[in-house]
């Protein structure tokens, strides 16, 4: 029996009847039925997408399908009748064959395709929750003698993911450790920064239930193309897990073998019974935007030559970043809840010259944002299978008639076509957690990255060759369409 099958059967033995079938559908970093369906402040009715998208379960606020445990811990097996139609898109390349071999655990995150080698390092300021925490991806000197960075660096992240997916920690930890415990991202840990030019800066915001390291395919590609990318880890209790370092008490630190700092872990906060999701998410997105702005200020402080204390004590030379950031070319980017964070950040900080929202979840966005609060250019890159009518209508309202705001859809893609899990899962796990769409994951991420680079070149006034992908921004090309596949026309009277 393959090891992966053994783990699944062991998991089956630990769960009550029907529980494992719920887990099969619970592995997305996106919104809940309440978060997806109702966009008003007080949410009562759940309404899934329909048509082509109705053939699959509708995601919940944490990305679970309808009919499983909701974010408040309740179950709802009913499905309202469809009211809107989505159009299925034909993918022009065949779907990759699903492997059932135990070697599927060795799938890799793709390397950057640009001219620069990529390094990464972690930065945490202050011994308090109010400090900044981010992973920095950057152009680096070639360093064959330096190891690649661990993709998920602490076992507590496995625990957080298990909690987020409503799995027993002992089962989740073992599954995650077996399948991704040895995975590295193709960026050299603490490699020497490559100076000599001023690089534009991207601040990246992760999705609900995610954390700073699991969008490395996107961040590494941007760094390989000549960007510095600051991937923020949010402490608003929307990450599966995060932490800050706090000083031990005097009595504890007096022991010779005890370091004077310890990690204080913060795990994902589930909705309380009866709690309105939009109220919580709107509060969180405001904190997230402030954390993105704080990360921006931190990188610019380092760029100016100011000394910054990194409580993580890495070997990276932060002084090497002095005068290496192009302070006039700064963008913000994010996925799902991170896409909402992009919109909120643009409305609050004019130094962000443009933004890119990947498969955005619009529920957290405040009503005031639609009143011309976002003046900067904005690109929405959607998956085919995630979006629904009410969310698309919110996007269109924000776009209005602004030609600098664009929306495209990648054919055959799913919400998980953007995080790294789509690359490190083979057939069994991908089917189990619905991590892959009909399009090859590498092609989907290439379309997203190329469209992003073309958009950034135009609106950051870069002198690169990214304009070769300008057509993608207009939704022209293989496996991409302009706008959306979702029918947003009013429902016919019943």
- Known catalytic residues are 336, 359, 415
- Interstrand relation of 261-267 and 325-335 (parallel, antiparallel or unpaired): unpaired
User: The tokens of 302 are what?
Assistant: 């380092």
Q: How many other CB atoms are found less than 10 A from the CB of residue 409?
A: 25
Spell out where 394-438 has E strands.
Answer: 405-410
What's 491's DSSP letter?
P
| H helices present in 137-210, as ranges | 155-164, 169-180
DSSP SS3 for 117: strand
Output the DSSP codes for 69-94. Answer: B-TTS-B----PPP---B-----SSP
Closest to 320 measured CA to CA, from 233, 231, 215, 199: 199
Distance of alpha carbon 4 from the chain centroid: 26
Dihedrals φ, ψ of 486, to 5°? Answer: -90, 130
Closest to 336 measured CA to CA, from 291, 282, 380: 380
Rg of the Cα trace of the chain?
22
Closest to 334 measured CA to CA, from 350, 355, 348: 355
> Which residues, other chains included, contact 172 with Cβ-Cβ below 8 Å and sequence gap of 6+?
158, 159, 161, 162, 165
CA distance 151 to 169: 19
The owner of tokens 């920064």 is: 193
User: The tokens of 177 are what?
Assistant: 């450790």
Output the DSSP codes for 319-370. Answer: GGGTT-EEEEEEEEEEETHHHHHHHHHHHH-TT--EEEEES---TTS-GGGG
Dihedrals φ, ψ of 219, to 5°? Answer: -65, -40
> Are the beta carbons of 394 and 31 closer than 8 angstroms?
no
CA distance 236 to 288: 7
Dihedrals φ, ψ of 166, to 5°? Answer: 55, 40
Sign of the CA dihedral 280, 281, 286, 292?
positive
Query: Which H or E element spans position 262?
Result: strand 261-267
């Amino acid at each position: 029996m393959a090891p992966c099958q053994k783990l699944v059967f062991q998991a089956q033995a630990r769960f009550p009847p029907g529980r494992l079938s719920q887990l099969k559908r619970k592995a997305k970093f996106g919104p809940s039925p309440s978060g997806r369906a109702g966009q008003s402040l007080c949410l009562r009715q759940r309404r899934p997408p329909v048509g082509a998208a109705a053939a699959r379960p509708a995601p919940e606020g944490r990305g679970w399908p309808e009919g499983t445990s909701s974010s408040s811990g309740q179950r709802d097996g009913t499905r309202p009748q469809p009211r809107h139609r989505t159009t299925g898109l034909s993918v022009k390349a065949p779907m990759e064959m699903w492997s059932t071999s135990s070697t599927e655990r060795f799938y890799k995150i793709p390397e950057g395709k640009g001219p620069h080698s990529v390094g990464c390092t972690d930065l945490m300021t202050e011994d308090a929750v109010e400090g900044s925490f981010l992973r920095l991806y950057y152009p680096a000197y070639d360093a064959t003698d330096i190891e690649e960075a661990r993709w998920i660096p602490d076992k507590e992240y496995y625990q957080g993911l298990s909690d987020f997916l409503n799995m027993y920690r002992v089962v989740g930890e073992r599954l995650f450790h077996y399948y991704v415990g040895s995975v590295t991202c193709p960026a050299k840990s603490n490699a020497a920064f490559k100076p000599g030019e001023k690089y534009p800066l991207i601040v990246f915001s992760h999705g609900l239930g995610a954390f700073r390291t699991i969008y490395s395919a996107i961040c590494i590609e941007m760094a390989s193309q000549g960007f510095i990318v600051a991937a923020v880890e949010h402490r608003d209790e929307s990450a599966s897990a995060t932490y800050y370092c706090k000083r031990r008490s005097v009595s504890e630190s007096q022991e010779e073998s005890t370091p004077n700092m310890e990690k204080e872990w913060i795990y994902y906060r589930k909705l309380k019974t009866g709690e309105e999701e939009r109220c919580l998410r709107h509060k969180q997105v405001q904190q997230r935007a402030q954390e993105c702005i704080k990360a921006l200020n931190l990188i610019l402080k380092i760029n100016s030559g100011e000394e910054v204390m990194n409580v993580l004590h890495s070997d990276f030379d932060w002084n090497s970043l002095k005068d290496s950031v192009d302070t006039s070319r700064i963008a913000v980017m994010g996925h799902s809840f991170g896409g909402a964070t992009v919109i909120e950040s643009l409305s609050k900080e004019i130094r962000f010259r443009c933004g890119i929202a990947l498969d955005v979840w619009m529920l957290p966005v405040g009503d005031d944002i639609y009143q011309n609060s976002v003046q900067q250019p904005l690109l929405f890159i959607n998956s085919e299978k995630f979006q629904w009518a009410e969310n698309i209508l919110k996007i269109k309202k924000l776009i209005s008639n602004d030609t600098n705001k664009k929306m495209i859809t990648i054919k055959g893609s799913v919400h998980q076509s953007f995080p790294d899990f789509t690359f490190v899962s083979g057939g069994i796990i991908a089917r189990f957690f619905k991590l892959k769409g009909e399009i090859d994951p590498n092609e989907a991420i290439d379309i997203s990255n190329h469209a992003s680079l073309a958009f950034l070149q135009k609106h950051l006034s870069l002198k690169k060759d990214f304009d070769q992908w300008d057509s993608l921004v207009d939704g022209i090309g293989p496996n991409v369409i302009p706008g959306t596949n979702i029918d947003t026309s009013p429902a016919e009277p019943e």
